[in-house]
Structure 1
Amino acid sequence: MPREAPYLAVADVLRARILAGEWEIGGRLPSRARLAQEYAVGRNVVQRAVDRLIVDGLLEGRAGSGTYVRVPRERLRLVRSRHRDRRGGPFLRAEAREPGRADAWDAHSQVRVAAPEEIAERLDIRPGDLCVRTHYEFLAGGHPVQLSDSWEPMALTEGTPVVLPERGPLAGKGVVERMRRIGVVVETVVEVPRPGRADRAEANLLGIGPGDLVLRIERTIYDTDGRPVETADMVVPDARREVVYEFGVDRP
């Protein structure tokens, strides 16, 4: 049988000590040097073991301070529902009434951005065709809870009052209302959720650790002719949000 890697063995021992309550929630772990001496291993082994437990959500590193037992965060529901939209009121406003829901967002748009190949395929346009790209950081109580990168083909919106999602007469009203303003009726929303790990840039923006679990949602919105009018990549931190999909039932 192959021998377990030393850092995994150290990670298992540290995990057991953390779960047994040897260090209280929010408590600081001993230094890497002290742990290396205690387990008779190199500091790099301890570092890899600690990194593993950060990825697992048991620890968090604080720059210039050390490593701490992570304070458990309340995991709130994020309901994805067009059914709720049809029952009454705009989608985002209905969800905003739920505890921990996004109540504000920062957005930055870039115009005339060439569509990369993957985005072009999703929007059924040619690679290099011009788009409006908007980066969103959604906040709840001042804390980041979701990221989103949205792409809209400029061939659809250029020269109209809704070319910029967060400016103009329908700023912040969402894709459905903005498209309706220019005579485009949205009919279908397709979302593809995939589990993933936060990269360093995403972790910094979301206030989580690099490698923490996230849910990546690829969303594309279509009009009544089946034409894609917007596509977006959303990132939701798994430790803070439980994503739930809600569907209505068609009645005879």
Structure 2
Amino acid sequence: MAGAPYQRLAAHLRSLIQNGDWPPGYRIPSHAQLQTEYHVGRGVVEHAIAQLRREGLLEGVRRTRPTVAYPPPVRTLVSADVDWPAHQDAKRAESRPMTDVDLAVRLGVPPGTRVSCTAVEMVDGSGVTVGLCTTWRRGRRRAHAFYRCEVQSHAVTAAEAELTGLAAGAAAFLLQRIRYAADGHPVEASDLVLPADRWRLRM
């Protein structure tokens, strides 16, 4: 299995949780026990546990042995045109030339046009990551009159996992949204990645 040692350990521990070997409420072995069993250093264990905490698979007070979290509540999305009401953690904000032709078409600009790109992690009230929203726009944010959205199945990419702590390869919904001004000109294009185990869509 490719990846850093802590990622390999996290993947193995994740499988124990997902397969039911470590059920919800189970207090996982101590750092020392995990080090001995998997022949790794303390840092590897700490990073693996931190990864699973970010994914919402483990919970508990810091500096204590965490327990396996109960499954997060499943939310229902009825509109892709609302801003996330809870905590948002900005992960990336940059201005760059648009090199993706498909994105340029969605945004209605020629390839090479400089646009702003922001990536925001969506977090619920309990601190669990429930999605990632990446938005491209030209110039400042403008009001929109209507939107269109296409939905497709998606696997969380390594880059998305690095930004959010979601598991790479996890099943997700990809919502590709375009917001339009009243004259029909696109003012914003967004990709929303929503984990399939945390969302139902009813739009």
Is TM-score (shorter-chain normalized) higher than 0.5?
yes
Partner of 1:131: 115
AA partner of residue 165 (structure 2): G
> What is the CA–CA distance in structure 2 between the aligned matches of 1:179 and 1:73, rounded to whole Å?
38
Q: Offset at 1:78?
A: 3.8
Q: Offset at 1:76?
A: 2.3
Aligned residues: 152
Q: Offset at 1:240?
A: 1.7
Mapping of 1:15-164 within 5 angstroms? 24-25=23-24, 26=26, 72-81=70-79, 91-92=82-83, 96=85, 102-141=86-125, 142-153=127-138, 157=139, 163=140
- Alpha-carbon displacement from aligned partner over 1:185-210 (angstroms, at most 9, x marks no partner): x2221111111111223234343322
Pair 242,206 (structure 1): closer, same or farther in 2 beyond 3 Å: farther
AA partner of residue 120 (structure 1): A
* Structure having the higher Rg: 1
Partner of 1:218: 176
Q: What secondary structure does 1:179 align onto?
A: coil
> What is the CA–CA distance in structure 2 between the aligned matches of 1:77 and 1:238, rounded to whole Å?
10
> What is the CA–CA distance in structure 2 between the aligned matches of 1:105 and 1:206, rounded to whole Å?
9
Partner of 1:229: 187
- Alpha-carbon displacement from aligned partner over 1:109-155 (angstroms, at most 9, x marks no partner): 212433421111111221111111111112223332211111112xx
Percentage of identical aligned residues: 24
CA contact (8 A) 1:216 1:235 kept: yes
Partner of 1:179: 142
> What is the CA–CA distance in structure 2 between the aligned matches of 1:71 and 1:144, rounded to whole Å?
13
Partner of 2:200: 242
Mark the runs of 5 or more structure 2 residues left unpaired by the alignment.
1-14, 29-56, 58-67
Q: Offset at 1:27?
A: 7.9
- Alpha-carbon displacement from aligned partner over 1:7-58 (angstroms, at most 9, x marks no partner): xxxxxxx99xx57xx7644587xxxxxxxxxxxxxxxxxxxxxxxxxxxxxx
> What is the CA–CA distance in structure 1 between the aligned matches of 2:175 and 2:158, rounded to whole Å?
18
Q: Offset at 1:71?
A: 5.0
What's the RMSD between the two structures over aligned residues? 3.3
> What is the CA–CA distance in structure 1 between the aligned matches of 2:75 and 2:124, rounded to whole Å?
13
> What is the CA–CA distance in structure 1 between the aligned matches of 2:202 and 2:196, rounded to whole Å?
12
CA contact (8 A) 1:206 1:237 kept: no
CA contact (8 A) 1:107 1:134 kept: yes
Q: Offset at 1:232?
A: 0.9
Mark the runs of 5 or more structure 1 residues left unpaired by the alignment.
1-13, 29-59, 61-69, 86-90, 97-101, 158-162, 164-177, 181-185, 246-252
> What is the CA–CA distance in structure 1 between the aligned matches of 2:179 and 2:165, rounded to whole Å?
29
Partner of 1:195: 153
CA contact (8 A) 1:113 1:133 kept: no
